[in-house]
A and B are shown apart, each in its own frame.
Chain A
């Protein structure tokens, strides 16, 4: 299985809602990532988990809360989002860096719209 899956594919939520994005991989990767991508822009790194521990938080607002319950799953909990948070949210996974190749495999993304 060389796939990263993300659910849901699309999500529409109000600014007072609480929702979660889910990501799953079964490639044995021990590093997982959340990216945010606005239209016609490159992905922006949000969080990195390495061996189920948060290793990088790129100064993301607290209304985004990541969670890595096990080595195959990565969640992104959303609360009190703003309309400008509407974007494509991408999950990726890789082997942790040890030099050389550390190719990230991306999921198909969740298209989030905040009303």
Chain B
């Protein structure tokens, strides 16, 4: 079964602290993995995208890692800001014949408090 599991479901941290969000997947065949940030009532915005051969990718204070052997990914947020409060969604692309399908995780809701 193609699944993307994220943990924790929700997280509260103080401004300035670091945090790490987890994503485990069983999607096969795997094409790529992305992390999106979604503010409440808004569309998701891409943070990083990684293919099978990429282990880590950074975008400012966001650093994503991918272990394709264990099928695990993490998103590390450094020096959190109030504006980081949002849902973070892990999305794995599954190859499907000549097309593909995005498999979404349920997201981690992050709240950064002053």
Cα–Cα, bound, A100→B95 (Å)? 10
Which of A44, A97, A107, A111 is in CB contact (< 8 Å) with B100? A97
How many residues of chain B are within 8 Å of chain A by beta carbon?
A: 24
19 A-B interface contacts by CB (under 8 A): A6-B43, A40-B109, A41-B106, A42-B104, A42-B106, A42-B107, A43-B44, A44-B104, A45-B102, A90-B44, A97-B99, A97-B100, A100-B32, A100-B51, A105-B46, A106-B36, A106-B43, A108-B42, A108-B43
Size band of the A side of the interface? 20 to 34
Contact pattern, A 93-115, Cβ under 8 Å of B = 1, otherwise 0: 00001011111111111010000
The reply to whether B34 and A106 form a contact with Cβ atoms under 8 Å apart is: no
Which residues 27-73 of B have a CB within 8 angstroms of A?
31-32, 34, 36, 41-46, 49, 51
A residues with a Cβ closer than 8 A to B are 4, 6, 40-45, 48, 50, 55-56, 88, 90-92, 97, 99-109, 111
For A55, list chain B residues within 8 Å (CB): 99
